[in-house]
Chains A and B, each alone.
Chain A
């Protein structure tokens, strides 16, 4: 059984993170922007798992659990905001929401 070099895991995490970043930059739909943030958080968690496996310690997995909790809270609040924006503005374009009331 051959073991995995640590760089491969880190390269995978970097590629996934950069794909999420590209998606965040090129999209104008606010739901797609939320999805890209999820991809980036998942990639960051993957880097933590690789680091934890490198030292054979469970701390990396604990950090992934915290990232998971944060992602869940973030997505629930973000989706509530998206619903509210869609009801107010009737569009998902994030540029439309650039003005504040009051």
Chain B
């Protein structure tokens, strides 16, 4: 179990690292899928098979596919990759990386100097999660419904194209 967890974490960290250094947006999204799948593997080993399935279906399935559709609609050309290379030079990168690495070092130090606790290998399945979700957390479920409703309405309102009201002969001339 420990070996599987190590391998899954190594794959997750490496693929996330590859996501953040890619210049091509589609390549970054494909590495992001690998990262989500590795994290789903870690969830499975940690005794959460239901969440592992949800990670694959919703994160690696729905959210990444949504992003790929939007990239398809943006219709980016080859020069966007060159522009991305220009934006991502070492001078810009070095400052944030050092500062964040200091913070990461502190966080990892604090986490790993706690008294060592081994996790129980008890699997918490979908039934227990469902009983808790619709028991004490039912207000959270309703609030999530309201949030998703607001998300749908907001995405529809923002994504709507303005209707053009030019005459068709004039429009043809403009093009």
Main secondary structure of the interface of A (DSSP, over half): helix
Q: Is B50 touching A61 in the complex (CB atoms < 8 A)? A: yes
* Distance in angstroms between the alpha carbons of A88 and B13 in the assembled complex: 36
By size class, the interface of chain B is: 35 or more
Residues of B close to A4: CB separation below 8 A: 1-2, 5, 45-46, 118-119
Q: CB of A26 within 8 A of chain B?
A: yes
**Interface of chain B: mostly helix, strand, loop or mixed:** helix
- On whether A29 and B51 interact (CB within 8 A), knowing A11-B111, A77-B155, the answer reads no
Which of A34, A49, A61, A68 contacts B59, CB < 8 Å? A68
- Is A58 touching B132 in the complex (CB atoms < 8 A)? yes
> Is A3 in contact with chain B by the CB < 8 A criterion?
yes
Verify if B63 is at the interface (C-beta below 8 Å from A): yes
Number of interface residues of A (CB under 8 A): 70
Listed residue (A2, A59, A62, A93) with the most chain B CB atoms within 10 angstroms of its CB:
A62
Q: Which of B48, B71, B104, B148 contacts A15 (CB 8 A)?
A: B104
The proximity string for A residues 1-39 relative to B, scoring 1 for CB distances below 8 Å and 0 otherwise, is 111111111111011101111110111110110111011
Binary B-proximity of A26-69 (CB < 8 A = 1, otherwise 0): 11110110111011001000100110111011111110111011
